[in-house]
Each structure stands twice: as C-alpha cells, then as structure tokens.
C-alpha cells in the first residue's frame, strides 16, 4: 500500500518537475535515466544471472554509434537521416545482435574468466571505433542528433523545448525498461537465471538449458546497454571512442554493486548516485571548501566522487559478505 503511494507520488513529481527546474537539472535527470537503463541491464546479467561482464561499455558504444550513423545528417560522415526513434530502435537491435555474437563465448565461461574475455571485447571495440573514422568520426568523434525536435510548444503556459521533452522521453524509456526487467526477473526466465547463478549443475539437473539461458542473459543485457548508449550519446551531445572505454564498464559495475546486485530499483538508485554525484560536486564546488579547482593539485570534484564510490563499494561488499562483524568493538575486545 505505502509503496504504491510512494510510487504514485514519485511519478507525479517526475511529471511536474520540468515546470519548475532549469536546464541543468533537466539534463542531469536525462543522464540519470540513461545510466539507469544501462544499470538495469547489467544487474540482470551480473546480479540475477551471475555472469561477470566488463563489456558493457562496448554495447553502449554499439548503440550510440549506430544511432548517430542512422539518424545523423553530417555530410562528412556516414549519415542516413533516419527518424530518431527508428534509429534508436536500430541501435538497440544491433547491440542485441552484438551480444548474440558474443553469447557463445559467454555461455562457455563464468566468473573471472568471463570477465577477462569481456575486457577483450572492449579492447577490440576501442580499436574499431578509432579506425572506423567514416562511421565514428575517429579520435575526435561525431555530434549526436537530437532524439526530439527543438521546436518549442506551450503546455499550461510554460514553453517546453528540447530539454523538457528529453526529460519525459528519458524517464518513459526508464519506466518501460524497469517494468520489463521486473516482469522478466519475477517470471520463469528470471527464476532460471537465479538457479544458474546459484548452481549450474542444479539448473541442468532440472532441465534448464544452461548455455541457452546464459546466452539469453547476455543478449538482454546488451540490448539494455544499447538503449542506454543511445540516450547517453544524446545527453552529452557527441560521442568519441574514449566515451566507451573500460572505465565506463567499471562505473556501471559500481552502480549495480552500490544499489544491490539483482535489484532493479537498486540499479536505478546506484546509477543516480554514480551519475549525479560528480556533476553536483562540480556544480557546487564553490560551496565546498575541501574541493580544489581542476589542475590545482588538490582534491577535485571528480576525485571526491571516486573516493565516495570506492568507500561505498567496499562497505557494500563487506556488509553482504558478513565481514563487518569483525570490526565490532565487542568482537575486538573479546580477542584481547
């Protein structure tokens, strides 16, 4: 009952916020929605199905570059001028096909071995993005076409431009992604994923096609990453190979660990924290005396955010492993 009330209040808040907040918050909200979709995909793969992957940045890149090439109008690069939503759907599908191509490898590996293999996918992706200059713009990247029109419309006497429209598009995609993930995790496929995570021999003994479901988890995750890549490209306004390096995959792993592996709502919360904290620290650095200006040699907003992420990840891992009891004063005192 209370959860439904809170959910309804949250939906109302998201609907009315564009009437009251400025461009900074609208852009930040859209970025959070994009990251939340990608985090949901990774928590399905890593938290629910138990497959460690650091290739998320690669699939984000596939979705983003596909969207830019299909929806773009740059005469100097591959640009087909498709409608943005059609190009976005194509980006999701192509990312899914890339995940399907890698799924035979993912189906035969697990744990750290899958993680190492997925790093190789990111390395290959970086090389392709840098060398396929007519498609990606090479080292300098390319501009991202908008997903909504720039024409302003008046709603309730308030002029709505591109950023207001993007806000609604981003959270509509996020809500749809969360609903689909929730139904997937709670259904028969989700139960099979959990059994795979807990014990592959047990899953096989009850008739679950282990390799098929492991491949399915990778394909679903890559499609979520493809959509996140499209929205991420729109949010930052341009894409370059450096936008999809290994550190991006690590940040997504941080999101799902902080939020709680396997939790859809937790993945969104973790994405919000990891995405918003550096931006907010940068925006309000003047009010925080312990932060230094970039290049001054002190602790900058980016450094501070990474310190917070690191401490949060360590705390979450210690808590979930039950290791924090070793640090209780009573436990230490009993050993003296």
Model pLDDT for residues 22-58, shown as the tens digit of each residue:
888 999 999 999 999 999 999 999 989 888 889 999 9
Residue 202 lies in a domain: yes
Handedness of CA 209, 211, 216, 221 (dihedral sign): positive
Residue 266 lies in a domain: no
Segments of 236-325 assigned E as strands: 238-239
Burial of 194 (0-12, 13-18, 19+ CB in 10 A): middle
Q: Which structural domain, as residue segments, surrounds residue 25?
A: 17-245
Number of Cβ atoms within 10 Å of the Cβ of 212: 12
3-state secondary structure of 159: strand
DSSP string, 52-98: ----HHHHHHHHHHHHHHHH---TTS------HHHHHHHHHHHHHHH
Q: Which residue in 306, 229, 228 sits closest to 274, CA to CA? A: 306
pLDDT confidence bin for 297, thresholds 50/70/90 = low
pTM (two decimals) = 0.88
Residue 185 lies in a domain: yes
Model pLDDT for residues 97-139, shown as the tens digit of each residue:
999 998 888 878 777 888 888 898 999 999 999 888 888 888 8
Residue 176 lies in a domain: yes
Partners of 154 in beta bridges: 159
Instruction: Give yes or no for a contact between 313 and 274, defined as CB atoms under 8 angstroms apart.
Output: no
Give the ranges where 132-161 is alpha helix by DSSP (H).
133-136
Residue 160 lies in a domain: yes
Residue 271 lies in a domain: no
What value does the mean pLDDT take over residues 191-217? 86
Residue 320 lies in a domain: no
3-state secondary structure of 239: strand
Model pLDDT for residues 308-319, shown as the tens digit of each residue:
878 877 887 777
Residues 307 and 301: their CA atoms lie apart, in Å, by 10
Q: Which H/E stretch holds residue 151? A: none
What contacts 24+ positions apart, CB below 8 Å, involve 125-132? 125/57, 125/58, 125/61, 125/62, 125/244, 126/241, 126/244, 126/245, 129/61, 129/65, 129/241, 129/244, 130/241
Number of Cβ atoms within 10 Å of the Cβ of 71: 26
Better-predicted residue by pLDDT, 201 or 302:
201
Instruction: Give yes or no for a contact between 228 and 5, defined as CB atoms under 8 angstroms apart.
Output: no
Residue 174 lies in a domain: yes
Model pLDDT for residues 79-102, shown as the tens digit of each residue:
888 999 999 999 999 999 999 998
Query: Residue 2: which residues within 8 A CB-CB, separation 6 or more?
Result: none
Q: Which of 18-22, 116-120, 189-193 has the lowest mean pLDDT?
A: 18-22
Q: Which residue in 296, 330, 44 sits closest to 186, CA to CA? A: 44
| Number of structural domains the chain divides into | 1
Partners of 155 in beta bridges: 158
Angle between helices 264-283 and 162-186 (to 10 degrees): 150
pLDDT for position 8: 80
What contacts 24+ positions apart, CB below 8 Å, involve 186-191? 189/213, 189/216, 190/48
Phi and psi at residue 181, to the nearest 5°: -65, -40
């Amino acid at each position: 009952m209370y959860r439904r009330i809170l959910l309804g209040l949250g939906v109302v808040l998201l609907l009315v916020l564009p009437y009251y907040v400025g461009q900074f918050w609208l852009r930040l909200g859209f970025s959070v929605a994009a990251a939340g979709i990608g985090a949901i995909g990774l928590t399905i793969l890593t938290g629910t199905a138990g497959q460690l992957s650091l290739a998320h940045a690669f699939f984000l890149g596939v979705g983003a570059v596909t969207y830019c090439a299909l929806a773009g109008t740059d005469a100097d690069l591959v640009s087909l001028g498709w409608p943005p939503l059609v190009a976005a759907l194509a980006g999701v599908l192509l990312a899914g096909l890339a995940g399907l191509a890698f799924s035979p490898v993912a189906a035969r590996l697990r744990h750290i071995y899958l993680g190492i293999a997925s790093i190789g996918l990111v390395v290959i992706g970086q090389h392709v993005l840098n060398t396929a200059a007519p498609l990606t713009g090479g080292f300098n990247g390319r501009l991202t076409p908008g997903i909504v029109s720039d024409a302003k419309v008046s709603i309730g006497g308030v002029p709505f431009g591109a950023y207001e429209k993007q806000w609604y598009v981003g959270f509509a995609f996020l809500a749809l992604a969360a609903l689909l993930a929730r139904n997937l995790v709670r259904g028969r496929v989700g139960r099979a994923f959990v059994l795979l995570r807990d014990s592959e021999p047990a899953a096989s003994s009850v008739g679950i096609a282990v390799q098929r479901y492991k491949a399915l988890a990778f394909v679903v995750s890559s499609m979520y990453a493809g959509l996140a890549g499209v929205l991420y490209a729109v949010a930052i306004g341009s894409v370059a190979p450096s936008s999809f390096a290994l550190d991006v995959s690590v940040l997504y792993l941080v999101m799902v660990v902080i939020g709680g592996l396997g939790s859809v709502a937790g993945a969104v919360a973790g994405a919000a924290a990891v995405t918003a904290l550096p931006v907010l620290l940068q925006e309000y650095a003047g009010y925080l005396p312990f932060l230094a200006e970039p290049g001054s040699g002190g602790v900058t907003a980016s450094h501070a955010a990474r310190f917070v992420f690191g401490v949060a990840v360590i705390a979450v891992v210690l808590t979930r492993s039950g290791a924090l009891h070793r640090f209780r004063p009573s436990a230490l005192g009993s050993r003296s």
